[in-house]
Structure 1
Amino acid sequence: MDCLIDWPEPVVRVQSLSESGSATVPPRYIKPPADRPCFDSGAAREVNIPIVDLSAGESEAAAAVSAACRDWGFFQVVNHGVSRELMNGGREVWREFFHLPMAEKQIYANLPATYEGYGSRLGVEKNAIFDWGDYYFLHFRPLYLKSHDKWPLLPASLRETVEEYGKELRRLSERVMGLMSLGLGLESRRMREEFGGEEAAGVCMRVNYYPKCPQPNLTLGLSSHSDPGGITVLLPDSRVPGLQVMHGGAWVTVQPHADAFIVNVGDQVQVLSNAVYRSVEHRVVTNSEAERLSMAFFYNPRSDLPLKPMPELVSPTRPAMYQPMSFNEYRIYIRKRGPQGKSQLESLKSFTV
């Protein structure tokens, strides 16, 4: 844990690099050729992730969610009950924050132990290749992790807007988790129980800010990874697509549906479902013409509970595929190394598989 006390090198804000006017990205941001994005259009890029209408009946919505979790690990939800005004208001207050003077933002500079606050890198490996993006990370639950000292005072409406947004997204996350459970043939509360119950679940948010990049073909806004937690509910930038999902061996650029949230399966749900549901690698590409902002809301298990495949989904013909590990142990690994594909999840596989 000593390596999580501070960053191993001085933190450089990507927004400052972008606004410097340089025509090139620094070498520390250039990805190896195999990891660089490809912007060529192709058949796979014309496909989009499934769209699920939450105003449909419960059984129909559960079936659609389940199919998407099995095949894609990603889907968009519409008619979700969160107001357009709150969605747009959330985007706007965070966009205003990232355009504040640097001195105002630096007050909230974060550390790797909790990530809470204003950040520009993930992982503490020295001499790592960085991603082209800044972010702001906040905890909602458990309450002992929530520090209002890390909630920006400016813009003036930010705290109130974020509190309301957190309440609505927590409600939506619990609803989606219920549909996922039903899609496995279980009671709607079953997966939330494994997370420790609704009051014990971990709830947090990362606002991602991707400034303009002079060489988007050489770098990534966020490297390929699967999300380590339970589920992620993402409010994308509706103006500038940038999220790419791995499907069928190819990268698919997600085209956001109007007023939709993008939901994806995290590693902990793959473990609980005994790999019936799949967490899928995804990444973010940058743009030379426009900045991007997205808001990722994470609904996670209680950090100290060992998670393993649910017994209802284990049988002689489908034995437990993963060894138990608490989310706290799991995310320490992630915080040390940063985005590394699905290497951590693969390390949990039982030797008998």
Structure 2
Amino acid sequence: MNCPKDWPEPITRVQSLSDTGINTIPERYVKPPSARPSLGPTTTSDDYNIPLIDLKGIYNDNSREKILGHVSDACRDWGFFQVVNHGVRPELMDRAREVWRRFFHEPMEVKQAYANSPTTYDGYGSRLGVEKGAILDWSDYYFLHYLPCNLRDYNKWPALPIELREVITEYSAQVVRLGGLLLKIMSINLGLKDDHLQNAFGGEDNIGACLRVNFYPKCPQPDLTLGLSPHSDPGGMTLLLPDQHVPGLQIRRPDGWITVKPAPHAFIVNIGDQIQIFDDDIYGPTMRMCLMNSNHIFN
């Protein structure tokens, strides 16, 4: 199947729409009634949240088994969990959020220089998929390949703000290290060698890692659209650095959708479709979506 070189319709940046101060969103962003966020059961209890797991002591024999058990339970019962004391420096997490926030507030001509296409998706984007006339999500994004190294193209990395490339290089390396640790934990919990899942995804030299930054501009009608439509992640695992101020991520549970409440300097871990294939459905992926808000949301 050939990949088209351009999008089926002219691209409109959602941020540009939002900045005009419109009171009504265009029809192409209005979800059908059955898919709107205001419909369907939701669970809002303050004490109902995805598991929070402290990885401190993972290399200590006295606490290792307990941590392994917590991760195993979270993978089996939720497909989602949060981790703290994960080895990624809190100040680096803050800097990563900040440099991308600043990028999305650069002038449009700066961002347009990195406009992406369906060929690779690398760069600045505002839609996924090439179906003509599709109902779109209320979001802009930036997508980059980080691993394997032969797919990493620094020309696609924004040059502004000037510290972005340095910050994201260090941040990506630390996140990949954390991902490797989590894959080892999951392999052990499945009764496999600790490098089994990492090798299944290509090993240290060929494992894939991508970075996607989502920006959800202010929306005048948040009850009619979504920042990210319901989906399960197609990869092996997603590590999400959420917006600490405006929660928007929801995951589906048997009794309805719940809004995830991020812990300070935690990563949200999402088990993807490919791990489900490798483990014979022991760890099932969970559907997630992002609600819109009258404020900016960034993750």
Q: TM tier, shorter chain?
A: over 0.9
Preserved CA contact (<8 Å) 2:43 2:256:
no
Preserved CA contact (<8 Å) 2:238 2:269:
yes
| Structure 1 position 158, deviation (Å) | 0.2
Preserved CA contact (<8 Å) 2:43 2:257:
no
Given the alignment of the two structures, is residue 5 of structure 1 paired with residue 2 of structure 2, yes or no? no
* SS of equivalent to 2:293: coil
Change in Cα spacing, 1:148 to 1:42, as seen in structure 2 (3 Å) is: closer
Given the alignment of the two structures, is residue 238 of structure 1 paired with residue 244 of structure 2, yes or no? yes
Given the alignment of the two structures, is residue 146 of structure 1 paired with residue 152 of structure 2, yes or no? yes
User: Which residues of 2 match residues 321-340 of structure 1 at below 5 A?
Assistant: none
Preserved CA contact (<8 Å) 1:230 1:266:
yes
The residue aligned with 2:297 is: 292
Preserved CA contact (<8 Å) 1:73 1:264:
yes
Q: State TM-score, norm by structure 1.
A: 0.81
The residue aligned with 2:38 is: 38
Q: State TM-score, norm by structure 2.
A: 0.95
Change in Cα spacing, 1:81 to 1:237, as seen in structure 2 (3 Å) is: same
Given the alignment of the two structures, is residue 269 of structure 1 paired with residue 275 of structure 2, yes or no? yes
Preserved CA contact (<8 Å) 1:243 1:284:
yes
CA distance in 2, matches of 1:201, 1:55: 26
CA distance in 2, matches of 1:232, 1:41: 26
Deviations 1:234-271 (A, max 9, x none): 00000000000001141110000111000010100010
The residue aligned with 2:56 is: 55
Pick aligned residue for 2:284 from 255, 258, 278 = 278
Given the alignment of the two structures, is residue 168 of structure 1 paired with residue 162 of structure 2, yes or no? no
State the percentage of identical aligned residues: 54
Deviations 1:143-165 (A, max 9, x none): 22111110000000000000000
Change in Cα spacing, 1:42 to 1:247, as seen in structure 2 (3 Å) is: closer
CA distance in 1, matches of 2:286, 2:87: 26
Given the alignment of the two structures, is residue 14 of structure 1 paired with residue 14 of structure 2, yes or no? yes
Preserved CA contact (<8 Å) 1:45 1:253:
no
The residue aligned with 1:132 is: 138
Deviates more, 1:264-273 or 1:62-71: 62-71
Given the alignment of the two structures, is residue 256 of structure 1 paired with residue 262 of structure 2, yes or no? yes
Given the alignment of the two structures, is residue 184 of structure 1 paired with residue 190 of structure 2, yes or no? yes
Q: Which runs of 5+ in 2 are unaligned?
A: 58-62
Preserved CA contact (<8 Å) 1:44 1:250:
no
Given the alignment of the two structures, is residue 71 of structure 1 paired with residue 45 of structure 2, yes or no? no
| Structure 1 position 41, deviation (Å) | 9.1
Change in Cα spacing, 1:91 to 1:34, as seen in structure 2 (3 Å) is: same
The residue aligned with 1:117 is: 123
Count of aligned residue pairs for this structure pair: 293
User: Which residues of 2 match residues 81-120 of structure 1 at below 5 A?
Assistant: 81-120=87-126
Q: Which runs of 5+ in 1 are unaligned?
A: 295-353
| Structure 1 position 108, deviation (Å) | 0.2
| Structure 1 position 4, deviation (Å) | 3.1
